[in-house]
Structure 1
Amino acid sequence: MIAAVACAMACGTLAAQEAEFDLSSQRSEVQNVLPVTGKKLDHQGLIVNPMPHRMTVDRANVWNVSEGFALKDKQNKFANAFGFTTLDKKGVKLNVDFGGKAAAKAGVKEVSGAYMLRIDKKGVTIVGYDERGAFYGIQTLRQLLESPAVKDGELPYMDINDYPDLPNRGVVEGFYGTPWSHAVRLSLIDFYGKFKMNTYLYGPKDDPYHSCPNWRLPYPEKEAQNIKELIEACNRNYVDFVWAIHPGQDIKWNEEDYNNLVNKFNLMYDLGVRHFAIFFDDISGEGTNPYKQTELLNRLTDEFVKEKGDVSPLTVCPTDYSKLWANPTPKGSLAIYGNTMNPEIKVFWTGDVVCSDLTPETLEFVDSRIKRPAYYWWNYPVTDYARNFLLQGPVYGLDTSLTDKETCGVVSNPMEHGEASKLALYGVADYTWNVAAYNPIDNWERGLGELAPDAREAYRTFAIHSCDTETGYRRDESWETKTFRLADWSDQAAQALEDEFERIEKVPAQMEQGCSNNLLKGELRPWLVEFGKLGTRGKQAIELARIYRAGNDDAGFWNKYVQNLMDADDRKAFEEHKSGTLKLQPFYLNIMDDMAFGFLKKLTGETPKQYKGIGSFSNSTTVLSKLMLDNDLNTHYTSGIGQKPNDWIGVDLRDVRDVNAVTIIQGRNSVDDVDYFDHAVVQYSADGKTWKPLTEELTKQYDINWKGDAVKARYIRLLRLDSDRKNYASVRSFEVNPLTPDNLGFAVKAEEPAKAVFAFDQNLETSYLSKGTLTFEVSQGVKGYVLLMNKLSAPITCKQLDKDGKVVSETMLNTAFAKVEIASDKVVSLSLEGTAEIFEVVTKK
């Protein structure tokens, strides 16, 4: 149950979970980027996570704990829990106890995990309601000793009375993709324990013995030993290891498969598992039958859980785990669960959609049907739907008014990058422990110091610009950074942004030198490399803009401009490891485009044909729309949100023009893709208000080609008409007046004539890579040309030819910006020989 499901829904690959219930109609994602809430607090050097419910500090009195503690472990349970400090008979007295009587005397709340920690003239006292509570008190002491205020060994007196708000708090390893390594899992389990998370659900989708078809088979010896070690690590950290099985895709509702399931449970029980879950998510067919599911769960409860005596109640992930496609009626799976399933069984829920905020409204919807507090499976910071991103932002979108009456717990589904997920898990631990006091920004600021204490500022710079996903579950990013368009330039804003890009440029080296967490660095490194490059090109873009604004050095501007362009390899590397996509990379792309547009307009005196994407979708005017204007059918613009009535996708021609041809290619392919307008019309407008049709109504048409008498238009759009389709909308190409060798107006000879026209299309976002000879006709009255090229690897030869093809003049061009004066009126064509990427050939009359 992860975000990949949303993509599957968009592609139409999931079957209906219940008869006559149409999943493909249930798209309702939103693309709102909501701001992070909270503020940074001054903890005066004492950092504890999760935030305790009650904590008072007497800084006037302190213990010097530099020689460690004299431990009195009254029940002999925690001798191995103090690896973070020194145990010495001469140290400060440390008493640890737990149990109902001791807890009642100490005023500890009667809930599992509750504890009291007191530091006074008698020393340090920790009392837990239960053994787990005492362990949590020890973890609080551990964090206090690691706090900046105690670095010199001066531990102040204090009273802490603390307890968890939610009974289930932790992590579900439930993502698609590369499962965590054994080392990362062990590291994470220690992390869970330290920050008082009590649940680790083991259910990696790519574990073949967790899911179909091998769920019936025992684990091989090595894998079984690894699981045993994970259970032992969980036991040391007072974490419930919950082993999940995913049998629904091929389960047979018969006695044989029931016995197969019980046999597998017994094998896992023998390895030490005492907590079990069954996942019926992301399946189709007979396995989705809710009556059969509840019958199985109830029987397992009676014949396995209760018979064993030491196994906790089961957890189930239903097939209808999201309001996105859950049948809300009394005949729906959720209502059947509520009416027929043992009330002790916990039921997972992801919210309104697959990846969504935790709200009272979504819990009211599910709780009223399943008749118990839902178990919230939060699909964050999972990125299996956007694997080229790392989510390093604050944990927010979790309502702080909720209690255990509305939800029995929250587990986070993290990224396949386990160490990089810790920043988010630090927040989940804080929220689930002390819901009402949760402060997203403050938690994030503390978490940065926990994960990279010696490189905190560098890590913070990377993290604040590595939060969003561009599409899907949107997150705020770069909220401290102000970007702008070229038209809104101010020297002060430019300097501030340049300073930030310079900080970004230095981050990779600072992390390599300062971050001691090698596992974290290993996961971050590919992103850090690209992040540093983003800093360089952003800084250079601002330097370039100063030259552009001065306006007195065309050659100098252009030569530096092409040096700051991303080539195909740069773009590929950035696409694979993206960051800064909400503000920083768009700033770079936009200011480069703005300068190119203004520069070409200056040289030609005309409005360039550098068109812009527009539309009804929230991302229509972002840099994503460039993907339908890049002359590359392997890329596409996508709405990233389900289409609805009157949606449209179009282009702004930047000026009113004569339009006589429009070519639109919808979908990610033109055969069977579902992300397109299957009922639409092409329209035009001169003012963006009054629209007229160019075509008849189009039905199920991927490739649209209109030609006709010229109309005056600045805007062209494809408008969605009545349709039941709610998939995304995608466009691979949107061309207006496509330029061809036949309509160019003069003769061109080249190895690829259809592509050579890009050198004459009055658009610096396109180019032609000439690897041999490009020859073009010199029109009457032309006095010369300005050639705007990319960096030259070697000089090219420019020949001016007469009508017989004889050379009138020959020069060598060795700079990206080159001026060519026509030698005489005998010249009828110009020939460029050599390898050059030509952005535009500008005619001078």
Structure 2
Amino acid sequence: MPTLGTIEGFFGRPYGWTERTELMRFLAPHGYSFYLYAPKADAWLRRRWREPHPAEEMEQLSTFGAACREAGVRFGVGLSPFELHFGFTADAKSALADKLAALDAAGCEWLAILFDDMRGDLADLAGRQAEIVAFASERTRASRLSVCPTYYTDDPLLDRVFGPRPASYLKDLGAALDPAIDLMWTGEEVCPREFSPGHLDRVALEMGRKPFLWDNYPVNDGPRMSRHLHLRAFTGRPAAIAPHIAGHAVNPASQATLSAIPMLTLAVSYAHGDAYAYGQAFREAALVVCGPYLAAMLAADLALLQDAGVGDLSGERRDRLRARYAAYDHPAAREVVGWLDGAYAITGEQIQTQ
């Protein structure tokens, strides 16, 4: 079993503090040993990172950190210093030092510096980012430090959106960072179908260390993906990859309770190895999360919820589906109803502005 945990790093409406705490506590006995708080909607960790968090938000963050420690889960925060590599001035350094001190005060034990979702078409990008990370590592009290590169996948989508990646970027960044610092990687695509030992070994050679997986399943935060509930068990993550990675962080779906179903199956996949059966793993995880009645409903409706999606449901079928789940008093059922009602829909504007 690799180091396994949660990275709450999706766009759209973030979890409420109660949802977040309940998911963390539920997953802890199943091998999820860390929780990185990094929702895209927390502007004070992203576009407004230079500003201090409101006092109430920081108090809630500290309370969540204490709950993590009580559950034996390492509490971490993902900080996205938006486009700081374009101007690491004295004022910017002061703002970053203040932010790190605030996160220390909140009990942050694992700091992730996230350079994703921002422009990166600079020839010396790796060097600039390494300077920022070195500055942060000298000031944070966090015992573990991770970095998400701007180009965190082979997927050419990033080059189209954020500019062409600099030549040898990943190799240069890895060479400039302390070997003890994790480098995050989502795979051959932003949302990969699978990870293979061969691919991971190639990336490790470039990084100069084993990649730390940021796994974008069951996340469903895109304008198209938010129309689907990602409930099926994990596949394409065989236990054989464990020796080839530094850790495995799961980016959950917008629905906290329903996310626990596939997340449980990943732990089962690592534990069972070649004996893993994804269909059985789904049924058993749904039973644990939802109980027998609701688990049977989800299994029966899986093709509608995950494959067809809300956009392909006729009005009559959608109404029948909604009535069935609305009659059941369980947080997972309420998440299905909210999804059918559009409560979790993600817009292109949210992707551009969060």
TM-score by length of 1: 0.36
User: Contact 2:326/2:334 (CA < 8 Å) preserved in 1?
Assistant: no
**1:249 paired residue among 70, 74, 83:** 83
Shift in Å, 1:437: 4.6
In structure 2, distance between residues paired with 1:198 and 1:229: 18
Partner of 2:144: 313
1:231 aligns with 2:65: yes
Q: Verify: 1:175 aligned to 2:10, yes or no.
A: yes
- Structure 1 contact 388–577 (Cα < 8 Å) conserved: no
Q: 1:201 to 1:469 in 2, by over 3 A?
A: farther
Higher RCO (C-alpha 8 Å, min separation 6): 2
User: Counterpart of 1:395 in structure 2: which amino acid?
Assistant: F
In structure 2, C-alpha distance between the alignment counterparts of 1:207 and 1:329, rounded to whole Å: 27
Decide whether the 8 Å contact of 1:412 with 1:425 is kept in 2: yes
- Equivalent residue for 1:827? none
Other-structure match for 1:205:
40
Structure 1 358/468 Cα, relative in aligned 2: closer, same or farther at 3 Å? farther
Q: Give 1:384's match in structure 2, choosing from 201, 206, 221.
A: 221
The residue that corresponds to 2:297 in the other structure is 458
Q: How does 1:770-789 map to 2 (within 5 A)?
A: none
| Aligned twin of 2:198 | 361
In structure 2, relative to structure 1, the CA distance for the partners of 1:220 and 1:360 (3 Å cut) is same
**Equivalent of 2:105, from 270, 289, 306?**
270
1:5-20 to 2 correspondence within 5 Å?
Answer: none
Paired residues of 1:410 and 1:432 also in contact (CA < 8 A):
no
Partner of 1:295: 131
In structure 2, the CA distance between the partners of 1:436 and 1:304, relative to structure 1 (3 Å rule), is: farther
Check whether the contact 1:246–1:278 (CA below 8 A) recurs between aligned residues: yes
Aligned partner letter, 1:374 = P
2:121·2:165 contact (CA, 8 Å) conserved in 1? no
Map 1:308-707; keep pairs closer than 5 Å: 308=141, 311-325=142-156, 331-356=167-192, 357-385=194-222, 386-404=225-243, 406-432=244-270, 435-455=273-293, 456-468=295-307, 511-513=325-327, 515-517=328-330, 519-526=331-338
Question: How much has 1:299 moved relative to structure 2?
Answer: 3.6
Give the whole-Å Cα distance in 1 for the aligned partners of 2:78 and 2:166.
28
Judged with a 3 Å threshold, the aligned counterparts in structure 2 of structure 1 residues 341 and 436 are, in CA distance, closer, same or farther, namely farther
Work out whether residues 294 and 341 of structure 1, in 8 Å CA contact, stay in contact via their aligned partners in 2: yes
Instruction: State whether residues 121 and 166 of structure 2, in contact with CA within 8 Å, keep that contact through their aligned partners in structure 1.
Output: no
Contact 2:50 2:96 in 1 (8 A): yes
CA gap 1:202/1:432 in 2 versus in 1, 3 angstroms: farther
For the 8 Å contact 2:120–2:165, the answer to whether it is kept is no
Q: Does structure 1 conserve the Cα–Cα contact (< 8 Å) formed by 2:217 and 2:252?
A: yes
Identity of aligned residues (%): 24
2:219 touches 2:251 (CA, 8 Å); kept in 1? yes
Distance (whole Å) between structure 2 residues aligned to residue 468 and residue 285 of structure 1: 34
Count of aligned pairs between the two proteins: 326
Q: Is the 8 A contact 1:198 1:240 kept in 2?
A: yes
Encode CA deviations 1:547-599: one digit per residue, 9 max, x unaligned.
xxxxxxxxxxxxxxxxxxxxxxxxxx8xx699xxxxxxxxxxxxxxxxxxxxx
Per the TM alignment, residue 254 of structure 1 is displaced from its structure 2 partner at its CA by 2.5
- Partner-residue secondary structure (3-state), 2:112: strand
What's the Cα RMSD here?
Answer: 2.9
Amino acid at match of 2:334: G
Counterparts in 2 of 1:335 and 1:218: CA distance versus 1, 3 Å: same
Distance in 1, matches of 2:21 and 2:265, equals 20
What is the deviation of 1:322? Answer: 0.5
Deviation at 1:345, TM superposition (A): 0.4
**Matches of 1:417 and 1:290, distance apart in 2:** 35
Provide the secondary structure at the position in 2 that maps to 1:224: helix
- Residue identity in the other structure for 2:54: P
Distance 2:151 2:221 in 1: 20
Secondary structure at the aligned position of 1:466 is classed as helix
Shift, 1:285, TM fit = 5.2
Contact 1:172/1:411, CA 8 A, preserved across alignment:
yes
1:218 partner amino acid: P
Deviations 1:753-800 (A, max 9, x none): xxxxxxxxxxxxxxxxxxxxxxxxxxxxxxxxxxxxxxxxxxxxxxxx
2:100, 2:136 within 8 Å by CA — same for their partners in 1? no
Aligned mates of 1:319, 1:329 — CA distance in 2: 9
Q: Structure 1: which 5+ residue stretches go unaligned?
A: 1-164, 471-501, 531-572, 579-845
Kindly indicate whether the alpha-carbon contact (under 8 Å) linking 2:213 and 2:245 is maintained by their aligned counterparts in 1.
yes
Question: 1:512: Cα distance to partner?
Answer: 4.3
CA contact (8 A) 1:459 1:511 kept: no
| C-alpha contact (below 8 Å) 2:34/2:74 kept by paired residues | yes
| Cα distance change, pair 432–171 in 1 and its aligned pair in 2 (3 A) | farther
Q: For residues 236 and 434 of structure 1, do their structure 2 counterparts lie closer, same or farther at Cα, with a shift above 3 Å needed?
A: farther
CA distance in 2, matches of 1:233, 1:304: 24
**Closer, same or farther: CA 407–299 of 1 in aligned 2, 3 Å:** same
Distance 1:225 1:282 in 2: 27
Counterpart of 1:229, as a letter, is: T
Q: Does 1:191 align with 2:26?
A: yes
Provide the rounded CA distance (Å) in 1 between the counterparts of 2:60 and 2:343.
Answer: 31
- The residue type equivalent to 1:340 in the other structure is A
Q: Render the CA deviation track for 1:662-687: whole Å, top value 9, x for unaligned.
A: xxxxxxxxxxxxxxxxxxxxxxxxxx
Q: How far off its partner does 1:259 sit? A: 2.7
The letter for the 2-side match of 1:523 is E
Structure with greater helix share of residues = 2
Q: TM-score, normalised by structure 2?
A: 0.83
For 1:430 and 1:262, locate their aligned partners in 2 and report how far apart those are by CA, in whole Å: 41
SS in 1 for 2:44: coil
Aligned partners of 1:202 and 1:243 also within 8 Å = yes
**2: CA distance between counterparts of 1:292 and 1:450?**
47
Superposition deviation, residue 509 in structure 1: 5.3
Name the SS of the counterpart of 2:150 in structure 1: coil
Q: Structure 1 509/352 Cα, relative in aligned 2: closer, same or farther at 3 Å?
A: same
Structure ID, larger Rg: 1
Deviates more, 1:288-297 or 1:321-330: 321-330
Does the C-alpha gap of structure 1 residues 224 and 364 become closer, same or farther in structure 2, counting only changes over 3 Å? Answer: same
Deviation at residue 265 of structure 1 after TM alignment:
1.0
* 2:212 alignment partner, SS class: strand
Q: 1:400 to 1:433 in 2, by over 3 A?
A: closer
User: Superposition pairs for residues 722-761 of structure 1, below 5 Å?
Assistant: none
Aligned equivalents of 2:274 and 2:324: distance in 1? 36
Q: Once the 2 structures are TM-superposed, how far is the Cα of residue 382 of structure 1 from its aligned partner? A: 1.3
Q: Which residue of 2 aligns with 1:558?
A: none
- What is the letter of the counterpart of residue 209 of structure 2? R
